[in-house]
Amino acid sequence: MSLETEGSSGSRRVVTSRQRESILAIVDRCLRKRFPDDFHKRCAYGALGVHTLLRDAGVPSRLVGGDFIAFIVARDNRRAGLAGFGFAEEGCAHFWVESDTAILDLGLSYLPNEASYPVARMPAAAWGPIDRLPAYLRYRPTQQFPEDVGFSPDPVIRDRANAFVAECRARWATQKGHLPHPTWIMTGEVAVAAAARRKDPWALGALRFASMTDLADLPF
Q: pLDDT tens, 84-112?
A: 999 888 889 999 999 988 999 999 999 99
Whether the predicted model's global pTM rises above the 0.85 cut: yes
Q: What is the pLDDT of residues 108-155, one digit of tens each?
A: 999 999 999 999 999 999 999 999 999 999 999 999 987 766 667 788
44: left (phi over 0), alpha (psi -120 to 50) or beta: alpha
CATH of 10-145+153-217, one of 3.10.550, 1.10.287, 3.30.2320, 3.50.80: 3.10.550
Helix H or strand E segment including 107: helix 107-114
Q: Whose CA is closest to 68, among 132, 136, 128?
A: 136
Q: What is the dihedral of CA 66, 94, 135, 55, to 10 degrees?
A: 90
Residue boundaries of the structural domains of the chain = 10-145+153-217
